A and B are shown apart, each in its own frame.
Chain A
Amino acid sequence: MSSSDPLIRVDSVRKRFGGVTAVDDLSLDIGHGEFFALLGPSGCGKTTLMRMIAGFETPDEGRILLDGEDIAATPPHRRPVNMMFQSYALFPHMNVERNIAFGLERERMPRADIAARVDEMLRLTQLEPLRRRRPDQLSGGQRQRVALARALAKRPRLLLLDEPLAALDRKLREETQFELMEIRRGLGMSFMLVTHDQNEAMAMADRIAVMREGRIEQMGPAREVYRMPATRWAAGFIGEINLFEAIALRDASAGQACDMRLRDAPEAAPISLTCDAPLRAGQEVAVAVRPENLALRRGAPGAACLRGDVVELAFRGDTTLARVRLPSGFVARANAPGAGGESLTRGEAVCLSFDVAAARVLAS
């Protein structure tokens, strides 16, 4: 082990179930103390990846390294990794307390310490009044909290959380998110979190990987993945985004500014955007702009402006989401600040514009 080794390295791992390739040549690192989130549609292989790290599935190809050492031969009960199961897998014949204490008893921790740790976990997950209940006497959200407490109690070096908060109401979910981040600051554990809630991933994770059909579509710091999606698919998967069709006007190499014309603003002057990949003149690309970066004005056509009609308005507290139909039929989504939004009406002609710094060119 050298200090530069990541805690976990997944190296070109592949896993097949019959004809299905659940995880396909996937590599990633999780650093010491890092909070890593895994996003991806249902069935893309998130649980399978976690089960390989925990030791319940053996990779068909590739290696998994812990502190630089291959752990293929280490059985699950010897790995310093704990997993919170998507199905909770609570022990039905033990009450809440005994479920949480189970892992601690296995490492022969002194009784008083176990009791103290169990109390701490019960407080954290707000389960104190339910400590003597059995799992079949709990609600779905309460069971989920027991599963979380049980996995957390052992303070493993890496905690694998498979949709840990999905069954909680919003208030409890936010509280638990804060608690988890607190724990992480205090204990320096690493986390790998699977979630379908992008806000949760953004709020908690240092880095995010977006998975698609067993592969990593994009991986990077949470903000970057959100602000700069790498592909149309990733852009569409994470958050709401507008993909405007455009045509490159000149050849350009990666990192250069490239002129392009938006399909929906044929008369407007070309816009100039930096692209990551080389482009050929005439190539079709997408220009991705988040709704909050799309400025919406009434009537008055400006220079770089996409004209359209408001087809729908949805008030969302402090902002209003407007759906605007452009000439090509594409419906763009824009956030109008509350005050402006309220005065808009359906069918009204509006003008959309964006700052080129907030836009991103997607060639694929």
Chain B
Amino acid sequence: MISHRAWSERLVLIAPYAWLAVLFLAPFAIVIKISLSQSALALPPYTPVFDWRAGPDAWIAGVREFSFAAYASLAEDALYLDSYLSSLRLAATATVLTLLVAYPMAYAMARAPARWRPVLVTLAIAPFWTSFLIRVYAWIAILKDEGLLNHALIALGLIAEPLHVFGTDWAVQIGIVYSYLPFMLLPLYNAIARQDASLVEAAADLGAGPVAQFWKITFPLSLGGVLAGALLVFIPAVGEFVIPDLLGGSDTLMIGHTMWTEFFDNRDWPTASAATVVLLALLLPPLALYDRSRRRATEQPT
């Protein structure tokens, strides 16, 4: 009986790691391996290819063939550096915009009467019930030159000529802000809603007007949520492919798109894999930052 229970408990502990190992670590190991290979006109389009039955000698020979040529080509081609920088810039701007849109919403939700809050949270995540792809397509209909937005603005007499939003970086920003809003909204809402209401009262009591109450108490105490939300938006936005592909223009440069081109058009799998590994390396520092801040938050409940 005892060993039985111990086993099921162990299984519960092991399951998440097994999940990670099978669905993340193993594929990632394959990506690293491909990034160290060389492009070839073959199927699959790289060498060396390992055969499990070939035996240790053939494996060692394969490992000897590994090279950093793919990484070197990343450094040589300015396209990659430009793509990384442009992705980081676009993602950073979009994160700031998302924060600016989400904070007032989260604040209003958290300060709404308690019985409304579950409804508001449900509404905030309601867009998830529709496919992401369909929602991004819908933005094409809104943003294009003869789309809803321009129709509305012209009908209102605000502009004479249609605005060219679709096919620009602006459209990509709008798409990212829209798509990732809930990821920002929910951590912010949590961080504001769980604050002790008497703190703001105490601040008011000590002479802080509404502005000081917000900037001295509410906002600093919500920084954990700001950081969590910013990373939840920033990290996927850097590698975003669908939104720039559908809403961006030919001059929209994002690493996700560059990787796609390398992979499917140029069929240069090693370079595409190397680009992936570098992207992950770039995202590690912000992830570590997030992890550290979360750990600090759980150590010292505020």
Task: Please give the residue numbers on chain A whose beta carbons come within 8 Å of chain B beta carbons, in ascending order.
Answer: 54-56, 75-77, 81-83, 85, 87, 89-93, 102-103, 106-107, 134, 136, 150-151, 154
Contact = CB atoms under 8 A, between A and B. Distances in A.
Interface size class of B (residues with CB under 8 A): 20 to 34
A79 B103 CA distance: 30
Q: Which are the 9 A-B pairs with shortest beta-carbon distances?
A: A103-B206, A106-B207, A89-B202, A89-B198, A76-B204, A92-B302, A77-B204, A93-B220, A77-B207
B212 A106 contact: yes
B8 interface: no
The B contact surface, by secondary structure, is helix
Contact of B209 (A54, A77, A85, A91): A77
Contacts of B196: 87, 89
A91 B202 contact: yes
Contacts, number: 63
- Among B199, B204, B205, B217, the most chain A Cβ lie within 10 Å of the Cβ of B205
B204 A75 contact: yes
A106 B217 CA distance: 13
A351 B198 CA distance: 55
A85 B220 contact: no
Contacts of A106: 206-208, 212
A154 B206 contact: yes
B301 A102 contact: no
Contacts of B220: 93
B225 to A, nearest CB: 13
Contact of A91 (B207, B217, B301): B217
B302 A85 contact: no
B300 interface: yes
A85 B198 contact: yes
Contacts of A93: 220-221, 302
Contact of B208 (A77, A83, A89, A90): A77
Nearest to B223: A93
Nearest to A107: B207
A153 to B, nearest CB: 9
Given A91-B217, A93-B220, A76 B300 contact: no
B121 interface: no
A92 B221 contact: yes
Contacts of A90: 202
B207 A154 contact: yes
Contacts of B146: none
B221 A76 contact: no
A136 B198 CA distance: 16
Contacts of B201: 56, 76, 85, 89
